[in-house]
Amino acid sequence: MSNIVQLVLTLLFDSYKIFFIAMRSLYILGAWLLLRKSGLKGAWALAPWVRDYQLSRCASREPEGRVFCLTSIAITALKVLDIVFRWNKDNEKLISFAPLIMAVLVSVMLMHFVYNIRIFRGFIHVYGVSKWWLVLCVIDELRFIPMLIWGGAQKYQPRWKVEDLKAEMKRLATHGSVSVMDQGLTINLKDRHVRELFHKTYLLKDIHMAIPQGHMVLLLGGSGAGKSTFLNAVNGYEKADATVMLNGSDVYKQYKKMQYEVGFVPQQEMMRGKDTVESTLMDASKLRLSLDISDEDRKARVKEVMEIFGLTAVAGHLVEKLSGGQKKRLSISMEYLSNPSLFILDEPDSGLDGVMARKLFERLREVADSGKIVIVITHTPDRVIDLFDDVIVLAKDSSRTGRLAFYGSIAEAREFFGKEKMEDIVKSVNQKEEGGEGRADEFVMKYAEVKYV
């Protein structure tokens, strides 16, 4: 009887080995076909770990692919360690580490599983198939099925090929620059990056535009698209590989001089609550105005700015007693003292209701109409969109780099994206895991074709 049981077990084990070899062979074949269909060399399918990274590029999930490969290598190493421990059962020191190794292995396998789902969600988007395909993708024994079908069937075609996307982005960098205007703001940003361990992480790439004087511009983009990084690069606070020209002067090369020409109002208010409105502005004027200016001229400028932003009636009030809208106007007034040519505001309407926000933006519209350039980030753009001239849309591409998806008038933006509301435009370029449509690469390439072809 024992011989029969042993024979059955041996047959089952042999059958599993045959099935496993067949499954891996079909997986490699499916990977070969998918890689070729996406414009990459099919031979990458024969290289363990590298294969998975190249597949992640096909799915527009390159950052996830790097993590997936690292977790694959870690799982293999941890399994080898586990085998070593099993071979040395008599070594008490090694045995004591076994539970820790197992806990780490489980954690890494869980991370591996999550990133596998993210990569195949990318495939679902690239091939435009139903999300139910994900059920087959997350089961190791069945993963070869969708890969063979997507890679082999003529019916399924990727929305773009990897090399096509790479070439398009390269063309953006080569041909995207705009001519410098004598009057207005010209931005030719090649890239803004940081160094992490042994590689560069690009935060922004290939952003080129020219904004005329007197324009009020809305800056749109989802979380992580690089809006604040872009503004910091424009005002010279965080220098990028870029040329930023304002009315014929180089913001980077003439930074000390241009500090007075660029006003930047951050989201956080930096004012002392126990000071009055007038004293707050007088203190700010010592920083924002030239030291050569007389006390009379300084007081006159403070009075003028209070009138512009409707603060004259509360000049003697303490800051802590002001309403939310008044505090916002005071914060803006502090930066406006130097009469900047470029005025940048990061969510100036944060915490304000619709009526107060409207009044604030109407004042900013008046500032733009006086010949200034005003660039604003707001998370509720549709309630004041009629006050803007243009819109900049930044989007994270498949490599998680902020790129220019659009710059133009509000009417042109609506036609370009096929959306009426600005909030829907942001949704269209956001990643799917962020609740968006995941069309960032599509619109970045489309804008390049419209603008530079």
Domain ranges of the chain: 2-159, 166-261+340-452
Q: What is the pLDDT of residue 187?
A: 92
Q: What is the pLDDT of residue 16?
A: 56
Of 323, 19, 43, the closest CA to residue 142 belongs to: 19
Which residues, 6+ apart, have CB-to-CB distance to 290 below 8 Å?
Answer: 260
Burial class (CB in 10 A: 0-12, 13-18, 19+), 246: buried
Q: What is the pLDDT of residue 436?
A: 82
What are the backbone dihedrals phi and psi of residue 48, each rounded to the nearest 5 degrees, phi first? -55, 145
Q: What is the pLDDT of residue 413?
A: 94
Q: What is the pLDDT of residue 31?
A: 86
**C-alpha span between 388 and 377 (Å, rounded):** 12
CATH number of 166-261+340-452: 3.40.50.300
Q: What is the pLDDT of residues 104-138, one digit of tens each?
A: 888 888 888 888 888 888 888 788 888 888 888 77
b/e code 232-243 from CB counts within 10 Å (16+ = b): bbbbbeeebebb
Q: What is the pLDDT of residue 133?
A: 85
Burial class (CB in 10 A: 0-12, 13-18, 19+), 121: buried
Q: What is the pLDDT of residue 218?
A: 95
| Segment-wise mean pLDDT, segments of 10 residues, the chain, 453 residues | 59 61 82 86 85 85 84 84 67 65 84 87 83 80 84 83 61 62 86 71 88 94 86 88 90 85 79 81 81 83 86 84 81 84 86 80 90 91 93 87 92 94 91 80 83 59
Of 376, 398, 396, the closest CA to residue 387 belongs to: 376
The answer to whether the beta carbons of residues 435 and 155 sit under 8 Å apart is no
Q: What is the pLDDT of residue 214?
A: 93
Q: What is the pLDDT of residue 351?
A: 72
Mean pLDDT of the residues in the chain: 82
Q: Give the residues across from 217 on adjacent strands.
A: 375, 390
Q: What is the pLDDT of residue 225?
A: 86
**C-alpha span between 140 and 418 (Å, rounded):** 39
Q: What is the pLDDT of residues 406-436, one digit of tens each?
A: 999 999 999 999 999 999 999 998 887 777 8
